[in-house]
Structure 1
Amino acid sequence: MGWRTIYITQKAKLSYKANHLLIQTDMDLKQIPFHQINCIVIATTQSVITGYLVSELIENNIKVVFCSPDHNPCAELNGYYNNIQRNQNIEDQISWSIPAKQELWTDIVKNKIENQIALMEKDNLDTSDIVTEYSSIQANDSTNREAVIARKYFPALFNEDFTRGSDSKVNAMLNYGYTILLSATNQEVAAQGYLTQLGIHHHSLRNCFNLSSDLMEPFRQFVDSKVLERIDYDFDEYVKLELVDVLNHEITYNDKTFILKNALSQYIHDCFSFLNSQRDTIGKVGFKNEV
């Protein structure tokens, strides 16, 4: 899998030639080998993409995210046949045991909150309330400590009047970053031959990405961190590009250093192995220590 995210912000024609992406603008023509590309974000409605290129991108498992006229992600490209074991994997997915799903969800929530605490500590914020709530988490987070902590975490991180449902620049940044992260998670789930719709905790009939919404949780805090760094910036193309580039930041997984999108791939693989009774535990996702 490639490592580059291609971000299209101006009028262009995207086409295919000899295993290369061709980007034709009014000024020049760029050719990028497929093996370098992980994701293409088409952030303008002024671009066009050929059907031949779409077919080849799907064949090569390259994610494409489309943006609406307000430049926010609105759709993504998913192929039908990303994995030759897809049918068997879906049967396994339907048969995952409730105890296994609950145990994994408990681990996911704990890892997410640990990363929230780590981010707050990096910013020298008081974590005592969060730590207290974390210490009372029960199996399957049956008392919903995740939601209780979120109501304390976001105001502590941004400001005391901040709420996730408000119409604000910070929420627009968070939503953009989360959407890019969700798309990357969808890409991995589909590539490994599973359905994004069937979650282990999220079960909304209106959400086509319930499983991805579950598995991405311990990675959200890397988006939060970038938004916190750029909170005084305008929410422009520069900041959007930085939010996309969070996928290339170095983090840790299972005490090893990865760029985020590679850690995400390994983490999702390990989660599926756990749910399929092929391993007993999964590793922890975390911030890389800066010396």
Structure 2
Amino acid sequence: MATTQSVITGYLISKLIEENIKVIFCSEDHNPCAELNGYYNNINRNQNMENQISWSIPNKQKLWTNVVNNKINNQLAVLKKYNLDTTEIESEQLAMVDNDETNREAVIARKYFPLLFGANFTRGDDSKINAMLDYGYTILLSAFNQEIVAQGYLTQLGIHHHSVRNDFNLSSDLMEPFRQFVDLTIMDKLDYDFDEYIKLELVDVLNQEISYDNKTYILKNAVSQYIHDCFSFMDEKRDRIGNVGMKDEE
């Protein structure tokens, strides 16, 4: 339930649990804050959580390498869309190693944002662009949080991020190749004030058509399939993850 305005009766709760239907409650920021759990029908969820806790380090590293490479490729696609110089980014990507042990992701981010938004731009300063980015990324994070919980896994246990202060380590990991769709929307709206219209446009990013695994999806549906595939990979039920990309770019 992604709204705090809903009212749900005890009878309906009982019927939902009886039918083994998961109900997730979200706070005002649309992030999961609680869920309904029946006493006797959590076998699949319990198994998923046990699997997640046991995910192997090599598989975590392989998935993180895939995530980072996919993110960088999408950053390059964004820069090329606006005919911006990608030489430095491509050079840094070539220096990337397994599990991004040399942290090329962060190095590239420090080069990517000034290339996209101007030489004087830095993430974290008090600017309209950063307010837009933060809002858009929060919408995206919320979508990942809801889907991860809906599929019966824990958002707290990441494959790369491990902060004890972050309840959404796994979401923060897996959403990386999707951030660039927010960047594109903001680039197209740079002349606008950060108002309700822009907020709605950023929410609507979830309804954009994108490419995943060489198929066209609405972004929020791609998130669901992508997360499912990532979990299947970590549970050793599949040996690859498809690429997230701009529509008609793959």
Tell me whether the two structures share a fold, i.e. TM-score over 0.5: yes
Question: What SS does structure 1 have at the residue aligned with 2:121?
Answer: coil
The structure where helix makes up a greater share of residues is 2
User: Aligned-pair RMSD on alpha carbons?
Assistant: 2.4
Q: Take 2:210 and 2:228, find their aligned partners in 1: how far apart are those partners?
A: 17
2:218 to 259, 274, 277: 259
Q: Take 2:47 and 2:97, find their aligned partners in 1: how far apart are those partners?
A: 33
Q: Take 2:229 and 2:62, find their aligned partners in 1: how far apart are those partners?
A: 14
Say yes or no: does 1:142 pair with 2:101.
Answer: yes
Aligned to 1:169: 128
Question: What SS does structure 1 have at the residue aligned with 2:210?
Answer: strand
TM-score by length of 2: 0.89
Question: What SS does structure 1 have at the residue aligned with 2:8?
Answer: helix
Task: Kindly indicate whether structure 1 or structure 2 has the higher relative contact order, using CA contacts under 8 Å at least 6 residues apart.
Answer: 2
Question: What SS does structure 1 have at the residue aligned with 2:162?
Answer: coil
Question: What SS does structure 2 have at the residue aligned with 1:118?
Answer: helix
Q: Take 1:106 and 1:80, find their aligned partners in 2: how far apart are those partners?
A: 35
Say yes or no: does 1:282 pair with 2:238.
Answer: no
Say yes or no: does 1:194 pair with 2:153.
Answer: yes
Q: Take 1:135 and 1:78, find their aligned partners in 2: how far apart are those partners?
A: 43
2:110 to 140, 143, 151: 151
Q: CA deviation at 1:81?
A: 3.5
The structure where strand makes up a greater share of residues is 1
Aligned to 1:93: 52
Q: Take 1:165 and 1:242, find their aligned partners in 2: how far apart are those partners?
A: 22
Q: CA deviation at 1:232?
A: 1.1
Question: What SS does structure 2 have at the residue aligned with 1:246?
Answer: helix
- Do the aligned partners of residues 75 and 271 (structure 1) sit closer, same or farther apart at CA in structure 2, a change above 3 Å counting? closer
Contiguous gaps of at least 5 residues in structure 2: none
Q: Which amino acid aligns with 2:45?
A: R
CA contact (8 A) 1:164 1:171 kept: yes
Q: Which amino acid aligns with 1:79?
A: E
Identity over the aligned pairs, expressed in percent?
A: 63
Q: Which amino acid aligns with 1:168?
A: S
Q: Give 1:197-276 correspondences, 5 Å limit.
A: 197-276=156-235
Q: Take 1:209 and 1:218, find their aligned partners in 2: how far apart are those partners?
A: 16
CA contact (8 A) 1:63 1:187 kept: no
